[in-house]
A and B are shown apart, each in its own frame.
Chain A
């Protein structure tokens, strides 16, 4: 791996972190409405997975989608503009935080009905298989989503038809306030693949390099016709489920313990201890990101509202 790529992964993780912090602030100022699900703590998951894809590979995820949006290359300003409901936002202000998408970047959206996008992911993969493309679909979802029927139907179908799809479960230990072991008969989510005779793995989601390497290997195998794979990536969300979560279901101690395991901090130490780069270089990246996010916020705030007539646009193609 060349140094530039190492640094780029760092840049992406810091960018996600600062975009999320800016979003939290904008929400507190009343400029973002609705739900806001922050990705803070989980940055290494989408950064590692998405870094392993090729441009033809499709990505689809749930409503906790800001990280993926940044990783697929949507400029931060277009993400923030969408969060503010502006005409310049990726979804023209109609989607909001939960519904970012950029089809040109092969990002097929954040989806807010838990589990509903898994059958759609199977269909994306079916489309590629049908058209004999070598693309792989990467479908990300939470631990909570593995308890709904959609998950099981989609996994079964994908195995039955040998669809080129990577199922990525972001196990952050909670679905809203319900701990995995209170909602799932098996707390090791990977085991759910066994019933479908599907290859599976469990990866440390706080280690971006581990995630990337695992994803590279598996995606390669799927691309070669190996069929679907369920990858469970263990991680943790540092903030509430969405803004305003009273967090009665977990101890502050537990959050603190995980924060000591910060994916950005871990990666920083890795880069320095392996002499890949210096602290000064990393600080320079931090500063560049700070500036980029400040400019993105300004862009989003100064962007125009969608014109009234857009209310009736895009209901149908014809």
Chain B
């Protein structure tokens, strides 16, 4: 075990998979000479060369489209979209092409494709550059959506994604890159589509993922001092969505709070709450609460932006309300 950052974990996963399999290559904006906007691919260009670390023009639709085409020929492209905000410029290729080609052509085509991208607000980047629209992408059957919240999961899940034969949107979080955690030294993969209990508790089930896991852990520490023990289920993957650990936990606690960074309407919380009501209605002791971003585009001003984003205190308050 080594204590490394989320950034290092992702970087190592990429590096190791590229060493292992010559069909894996990276393409995206500023991934090469610059070393990645978030420094994830620093040193890759010098080591693997321009054939396998390709700086592209600013052309999101064609970055994803070309990655799809290359994947169809049997390569394993890892396309990088600098942030998820720019995925909208590639939306057709993500949701109309990547998510549908296999099904539409009766299973003839296989797309071993990973699209790495970055979500998250809180850095004063303004309305178009601060979004967490993860749930939108999870709407489409045919696409898998993975969003790790710890270095260990980031590494294991990215390796699994690169080895997978399906198109996967791999969503990192802009403010997790410095977060440290224990990561196994040996080669390991974490199966995609498995939620994980990140903290055990008996009183309330907290369902979350990505950056909000960090906030939920802090809230859990605070609550624990008051004798309230929450159980935290980290979804890790939004599609497939593994409800098994959530339902199990809920049958024990009978109360749930769902925490996501994106907007509340039509969000992850909506989906998870509906599934709990559908699958465990008899166990419900209190209305399920959702913590999410306020329903406004994010403003630049720091104070206003923080007002709009979920905070640890919001989680603490919600847990107390369902008790």
Given A147-B58, A148-B60, A33 contacting B302 (CB threshold 8 A): yes
- Residue in A35, A112, A175, A305 whose CB lies within 8 Å of B58: A175
Given A94-B299, A94-B304, A183-B58, A112 contacting B35 (CB threshold 8 A): no
- Residue in A98, A177, A312 whose CB lies within 8 Å of B296: A312
- Contact yes or no, B58 A144, CB < 8 A: yes
- Contact yes or no, B302 A85, CB < 8 A: yes
- Contact yes or no, B61 A149, CB < 8 A: yes
A52 and B61 alpha carbons, distance in the complex (Å): 36
Interface of B is mostly: loop
- The residue in B59, B89, B301, B308 that gathers the most chain A C-beta atoms within 10 A of its C-beta is B301
Contacts of B297 in A (CB 8 A): 315
Task: State whether the Cβ of B150 lies closer than 8 Å to any Cβ in chain A.
Answer: no
A112 and B124 alpha carbons, distance in the complex (Å): 13
Chain B contacts with A in 27-73, Cβ cutoff 8 A:
29-30, 33-35, 37, 55-62
Contacts of B307 in A (CB 8 A): 308, 311
- Contact yes or no, B300 A94, CB < 8 A: yes
- Contact yes or no, A144 B301, CB < 8 A: no
A96 and B121 alpha carbons, distance in the complex (Å): 14
Contacts of A35 in B (CB 8 A): 125, 129
Task: State whether the Cβ of B108 lies closer than 8 Å to any Cβ in chain A.
Answer: no
Counting chain B residues whose Cβ lies within 8 A of the other chain, the interface size class is: 35 or more
- Measured between C-beta atoms, what is the minimum distance from B287 to chain A in Å? 24
Given A176-B29, A248-B35, A308-B307, A144 contacting B128 (CB threshold 8 A): no
B 118-153 binary contact with A (CB < 8 Å = 1; else 0): 000001111111000000000000000000000000
Contacts of B33 in A (CB 8 A): 177-178, 248-249
Interface of A is mostly: loop
Chain A contacts with B in 259-295, Cβ cutoff 8 A:
none
- Contact yes or no, B124 A149, CB < 8 A: no
- Measured between C-beta atoms, what is the minimum distance from B94 to chain A in Å? 15
Contacts of A123 in B (CB 8 A): none
Contacts of A93 in B (CB 8 A): 299-301, 304
- Contact yes or no, B124 A96, CB < 8 A: yes
Task: State whether the Cβ of A256 lies closer than 8 Å to any Cβ in chain B.
Answer: no
Task: State whether the Cβ of B85 lies closer than 8 Å to any Cβ in chain A.
Answer: yes
- Contact yes or no, B296 A184, CB < 8 A: no
A 71-103 binary contact with B (CB < 8 Å = 1; else 0): 000000000000001100001011110110000
B 295-323 binary contact with A (CB < 8 Å = 1; else 0): 11101111110011000000000000000
- Contact yes or no, A33 B304, CB < 8 A: no
A182 and B58 alpha carbons, distance in the complex (Å): 11
Contacts of A99 in B (CB 8 A): 126-127, 300
Contacts of A306 in B (CB 8 A): 299, 301, 303-304
Task: State whether the Cβ of B283 lies closer than 8 Å to any Cβ in chain A.
Answer: no
- Contact yes or no, B304 A148, CB < 8 A: no
Task: State whether the Cβ of B177 lies closer than 8 Å to any Cβ in chain A.
Answer: no
- The residue in B58, B61, B124 that gathers the most chain A C-beta atoms within 10 A of its C-beta is B58
A33 and B305 alpha carbons, distance in the complex (Å): 11
List residues of chain A with CB under 8 Å of any chain B CB. 33-35, 85-86, 91, 93-96, 98-99, 112-116, 144-145, 147-150, 175-178, 182-184, 248-249, 305-306, 308, 310-312, 315
A-B contact pairs, 16 of them (CB 8 A): A34-B125, A35-B129, A93-B299, A93-B304, A96-B300, A98-B126, A144-B57, A305-B303, A306-B299, A306-B301, A308-B303, A308-B304, A310-B299, A310-B304, A311-B304, A312-B296
Starting from the known contacts A99-B126, A149-B59, A183-B55, 13 additional A-B residue pairs (CB-CB under 8 Å) come to A85-B304, A93-B300, A94-B304, A96-B301, A113-B86, A147-B59, A177-B30, A178-B33, A305-B303, A308-B304, A310-B299, A311-B308, A312-B296
